[in-house]
A and B are shown apart, each in its own frame.
Chain A
Amino acid sequence: MHKTAIAIHGGAGTITQANLSPEQDKAYRAALKKAVEAGHQVLERGGSALDAVELAVVHLEDSPLFNAGRGSVFTKEGKHEMDASIMCGKTLEAGALAGVRSIKNPVKLARAIMEHSDHVMLSGYGAEEFALSYGLEFAPEAYFFDRYRYEQWSEVRDSDIFMLDHTAQRDEKFG
């Protein structure tokens, strides 16, 4: 029996202690711990690596703290567009999607694309149509609304600036 292991990330960028309050720091760490331990429990019970990474990512997608799923940032149009992918190291099979809206857990759709389609990557409306046909859960716009994300977007919505969610805004505003 092989030794099991799992690692997760919730984004990278200009993350300094000055950017996070003690309460936020605690919340992020708790959410990360919950997700990684949920994934590891799958492995400890003999579950597959695929099941473990999917579950861990679902936990992160369900948290508004991270830029994916529920916590997705706003586009220029004030919408939420999500991308996701999954890959199996044993078979080299992969499933991916880009630019979907309203899918509650995009990683589940990636898994469905990998397992139930002859394709690797679907996008936009077609990917959503595929999700519908496989009974994946959709969520209304309100589910993806987060006050902090909205304020982040409000600061740059009238500019050409786009930015990583964890990166402090550079002073690039022009009159």
Chain B
Amino acid sequence: TVGAVAVDQEGNVASATSTGGMTNKRYNRIGDTPIIGSGTYANNHTCAISCTGHGEFFIRAVVAYDVSCLMEYKGYTLQKACEEVVLKKLVKFGGEGGLIAVTPSAEVALVFNSEGMYRASKSAGEETLVAIYKE
């Protein structure tokens, strides 16, 4: 699975996710990627999110929207909301994976509970970050 989140000069956020699914899948299984709210979500009031991992767990936990809700209704910061969902809630479900997120104020979060996540980010005026493992 691949994905991207961004905030532009007008403060608008957007997210996109794309996947080839799981190796040897059948029955026309689909994961969380195309399901708005589970694997992909964007809202200018909170953040934009793209998820990756074992999709069934992301669907059950409604991961992307849950992060947005924690920010909107409970006033969590982006990082806190992402960690609450990925490192606590999702782990209880047994779900492996992670997410990337950005707020309209250009705060970025790259959170995962697996051993690694291919990831990169770039903010205006800053160096490009590229990472794979828990570095």
Contact = CB atoms under 8 A, between A and B. Distances in A.
B96 A13 contact: yes
Interface in B1-42: 1-26, 28-31, 33-36, 39-42
Interface in B91-135: 96-102, 104-110, 112, 114-125, 128, 130, 132-133
A74 B26 CA distance: 10
Give the 10 A-B residue pairs with the shortest CB-CB distance, closest first.
A72-B20, A15-B116, A10-B118, A89-B42, A89-B13, A76-B26, A49-B14, A60-B2, A12-B117, A96-B34
Contacts of B121: 5-8, 36
A48 B8 contact: yes
Nearest to A63: B2
Contacts of B77: none
B116 A56 contact: no
Given A43-B6, A49-B8, A81-B28, A67 B19 contact: yes
Given A13-B116, A39-B6, A49-B14, A71 B20 contact: yes
Interface in A20-43: 20, 25, 28-29, 32-33, 35-37, 39-40, 43
Interface residues of A, number: 91
Contacts of A66: 1-2, 118
Q: How large is the interface on B (under 10, 10 to 19, 20 to 34, 35 or more residues)?
A: 35 or more
Given A16-B133, A43-B9, A107-B16, A84 B52 contact: no
B43 interface: yes
B48 interface: yes
Interface centre among B22, B26, B53, B119 (most CB of A within 10 A): B22
Interface in A82-106: 82-90, 92, 94, 96-99, 106
Contact of A85 (B25, B34, B47, B114): B34
Contact of A80 (B10, B20, B97, B104): B20
Contacts of B132: 15, 20, 25, 28-29
Contact of B14 (A17, A33, A74, A86): A86
Contacts of A81: 20-21, 25, 28
Nearest to B126: A5
A32 B116 CA distance: 14
